[in-house]
A and B are shown apart, each in its own frame.
Chain A
Amino acid sequence: MVGKKRETGLIQDEPLIFEQGGKGRKGYSLPRWDVEEVEAKSLIPPSLLREDLEGFPQVSEVDVIRHFTRLSQWNYGVDSGVYPLGSCTMKYNPKINEEIARAEGFANIHPYTPEPLTQGVLKLMYDLGLYLSEITGMDQVSLQPAAGAHGELTGMLMIKKCLEGRGERRTKVLVPDTAHGTNCSTSTIASFQMIGIRSNEKGVIPPEQVAQKMDEEVAAIMVTNPNTLGLFEEHLKEISEIVHQKGGFVYCDGANLNALMGIVKLGDLGVDVVHINLHKTFSTPHGGGGPGSGPVAIKKELAPYLPIPVIEKDGETYRLNENRPHSIGKVRAYYGNFGVLIKAYAYLITMGPEGLKKVSEMAVLNANYLMKRLKGYYHLPYERTCMHECVFTDHFQEKYHVSTLDIAKRLIDYGYHPPTIYFPLVVKGALMIEPTETESKESLDQFIETMITIAQEAEENPDLLRMAPQKVKVRRLDEVLAARRPKLRWRPSASPSLHGGEE
């Protein structure tokens, strides 16, 4: 099934783990047998036992190491270079934080370890909650949600329960057209109906529209600030007042918090609930898709509805309190992605208040510098000072029949991860660039030079873009085939068809 073998020095070809190894090969070392080995079928009826782990790999430790090492070499991470994905805040992941999280006294602690033995761990979580409240200008935090979207669900369920407590059953949520997709799907899971709000020509939510659509049926408005166009929602305070007046809540998607730390507090702008993506703003690694952590910060009116347990401090003792009759319950087992929380905590106390402010200042400086230097080469739909990210489009390149996709793929040939493409939806052919504060001026300049070169290539030799990428492990992949004929796992059978067999 493999065509021409693609090996270029460090980029080695590597089959699936199931396609290598051999019968009887082992890659493990179990603890010593110090009790008598029992035969499973003497204790458990054979009808409840399995015959075999069919298809499972049989490889040696060396095989495993080589396999995954080679796979890793096909990847690109923040440690490889600039990763300007808008709305993802791909900043540097401090290594000391990784080491700390691996310490035995954190990594090997069972969640049901009795509280007298976990005071330090509870203090870490309690203090982290305090610090996140301070940064966002809110009153209390739950560290339970495992990701931003999970935090959104938690927040919306709290709002719902609070309204029910007032005897109200509101069914609608206002969501702007620049919202992340998760805002919409979260509304549905929380059983709300979504009402759209259109951003104005300046790229922000107009308070008049909110006033028009706000009524006693609307539970909340979900905003992102700065929004996904990289612009500060300048009318947020007014909008909050409009919503509050009719008894609604303001939910803020905190994915873009990297622009605001030490500059302004979301709580001061009328926000009632905000989730924070620790794997964005607080430097915990993205892990190729997770794990993240999405703590949710609230104003005290919503405190009774926080998920349980809530970490409380009683004198010098910390404890987990499950006795909260109005809580929405639990959104996951145990207390949160503790292994991620440690890293965010360590980052926070490494940076301190001045450091965090500098993070936001430099993030915004970097984005505006990029925007200024690329202006003229790429079309800028909103000509305004941006926050931590900026949005361009492929409008100038349209006449060469080159699209945002082509530009993104060509960047790969130059050794960069592309920016976010085709989001937000309000901008046609969007190219959303977020450099983050951990990029130096030199690395930004190199990136800018590359983008300018690509703009020139679009004009002079557009095929280079349309045929890109050409220098990495694979060329452009057939996503249509993948969707029409989904092949979502390996199977040991061997049919010779291109899409059914393995070589």
Chain B
Amino acid sequence: MKFPEDLLYTESHEWVRDEGTQVTIGLTDYAQSQLKDIVYVELPEIGAVFKKGDSIGVVESVKTVADLFSPITGKVVDTNFALKDHPQFVNEDPYGKGWILKMEASDREEFKTLLSAKSYQGLLSEES
């Protein structure tokens, strides 16, 4: 299982890549392994505004549904349309091709509440 060091993580298994003006968000390797084959990703509208913790999308496998929670407060500026025809990218390459959306953060202070790769891994071993 992979946990890239350059990313930040949430307790609800999202990852965040800080790109300066915007962030890219996706689901962690752990999350995709739990969901198994992903069949559909419900993406938010571009331009939609969310608060940290809001549900911003839904990821479906055959027999489960999981919410995607916004790790930050901000506005959606891009979504990964490729996931419409290739939802399996989230399974195959969760940190690369399987990225889900990009947001503009409105409060960078919030980043301090996100977890480092090490803390996230620690959380996972606690849970199991």
B-contacting residues of A (Cβ < 8 Å)?
422, 479-480, 483-484
The answer to whether A480 touches B63 (Cβ under 8 A) is no
Find out whether the CB atom of A484 lies under 8 angstroms from the CB atom of B88. Answer: yes
Q: Report B84 CB to chain A, min CB distance, Å.
A: 10
Asked if residues A422 and B37 are in contact (CB atoms below 8 Å), the reply is: no
For residue A484, which residues in chain B have a CB less than 8 angstroms away from its CB?
39-40, 87-88
Taking the complex as formed, is B62 at the interface, i.e. its CB lies under 8 A from any CB of chain A? yes
Nearest 8 Cβ contacts at the A-B interface: A483-B39, A480-B37, A479-B62, A484-B39, A483-B62, A480-B62, A480-B39, A484-B87
A484 to B62, CA, bound (A): 9
* Chain A, Cβ-Cβ closest to B63: A422
The residues in B between 55 and 87 inclusive whose CB is less than 8 angstroms from any CB of A are: 60-63, 87
Enumerate B18-64 residues with CB–CB distance to A below 8 Å.
Answer: 37, 39-40, 60-63
Q: List 7 A-B contacts (CB under 8 A).
A: A479-B62, A480-B39, A480-B61, A483-B39, A483-B40, A483-B62, A484-B87
- Residue numbers of B with Cβ under 8 A of A are 37, 39-40, 60-63, 87-88
Task: Report chain B residues within 8 Å CB of A483.
Answer: 39-40, 60, 62
* CA A483 to CA B63, docked complex, whole Å: 10
- Quote the shortest CB–CB distance from B37 to chain A (angstroms): 4
A sample of 10 more A-B contacts (CB under 8 A), given A480-B62, A483-B60, is A422-B63, A479-B62, A480-B37, A480-B39, A480-B61, A483-B39, A483-B40, A484-B39, A484-B40, A484-B88
Which residue, of B40, B60, B61, B62, has the highest number of chain A Cβ atoms within 10 A?
A: B62
Residue of B with least CB distance to A482: B62
CA distance A480 to B62 in the complex (A): 6
User: From A483, which residue of chain B is reached at the shortest CB distance?
Assistant: B39
Measured between beta carbons, the chain B residues less than 8 angstroms from A422 are 63
Chain A neighbourhood of B61, CB < 8 A? 480
Task: Report chain A residues within 8 Å CB of B62.
Answer: 479-480, 483
Task: State in angstroms the CA–CA spacing of A367 and B63 once bound together.
Answer: 28
Which B residues are in CB contact (< 8 Å) with A479? 62
Q: Which residue of A lies closest to B86 (CB)?
A: A484
Contacts of A480 in B (CB 8 A): 37, 39, 61-62
CA distance A479 to B40 in the complex (A): 13
Task: Report the Cα distance A483→B61, complex, angstroms.
Answer: 8
Give A478 Cβ to nearest chain B Cβ, in Å.
Answer: 10
Name the residue on B nearest A422 (C-beta). B63
Closest to A480 in B: B37
Q: Smallest Cβ distance from B80 to chain A, in angstroms?
A: 16
Chain A residue, CB-CB nearest to B87: A484
CB distance from A251 to the nearest CB of B (A): 25
Instruction: Tell me which residues across on chain A come within 8 A of B63, comparing CB atoms.
Output: 422
A480 and B63 alpha carbons, distance in the complex (Å): 10
- In Å, the complex CA distance between A479 and B64 comes to 13
Name the distance in Å between B59's Cβ and chain A's nearest Cβ: 12
CA A484 to CA B40, docked complex, whole Å? 7
Interface centre among A422, A479, A480 (most CB of B within 10 A): A480
What is the bound-complex CA distance between A483 and B40, given in angstroms?
8
> How many angstroms from the CA of A422 to the CA of B64 in the assembled complex?
12
Cα A484 to Cα B63 in complex, Å, equals 13
A461 to B7, CA, bound (A): 44
Residues from chain A with Cβ under 8 Å of B39 in the complex: 480, 483-484
Query: How distant is the Cα of A28 from the Cα of B49 in the complex, in angstroms?
Result: 60
Which of A422, A479, A483 has the most chain B CB atoms inside 10 A of its CB?
A: A483
Q: Across the interface, name the chain A residue whose C-beta is closest to B37.
A: A480
B31 CB to nearest chain A CB (Å) = 17
For B62, give the chain A residue with the smallest CB separation: A479
A422 to B63, CA, bound (A): 10
How far in angstroms is the closest Cβ of chain B from A421? Answer: 10
- Once bound together, how far apart are the Cα atoms of A422 and B40, in whole Å? 22
Which residues does chain A contribute within 8 Å of B87, judged by CB atoms? 484
C-alpha gap A479/B63 in the complex (Å): 9
Q: Which residues of A contact B37 (CB under 8 A)?
A: 480
Q: Report the Cα distance A483→B87, complex, angstroms.
A: 11
A484 CA to B61 CA, complexed, in Å: 9
Q: Which of B39, B61, B63 has the most CB of A within 10 A?
A: B39
Q: Specify which chain A residues have a CB less than 8 angstroms from the CB of B40 in the assembled complex.
A: 483-484
CB distance from A366 to the nearest CB of B (A): 29
Nearest chain A CB to B98's CB is how many angstroms away? 14
Complex: how many Å from CA A480 to CA B60?
11
What is the minimal beta-carbon distance from A8 to any residue of chain B, in angstroms?
29
Question: Which among B37, B61, B88 has the highest number of chain A CB atoms within 10 Å?
Answer: B37
A41, chain B: closest CB distance, angstroms = 44
In whole angstroms, what is the CA distance A263 to B87 when docked? Answer: 52
Q: Determine how close the nearest CB of chain B comes to the CB of A196; give it in whole angstroms.
A: 15
Q: Name the distance in Å between A435's Cβ and chain B's nearest Cβ.
A: 26
Alpha-carbon gap, A457 to B60, bound state (A): 33
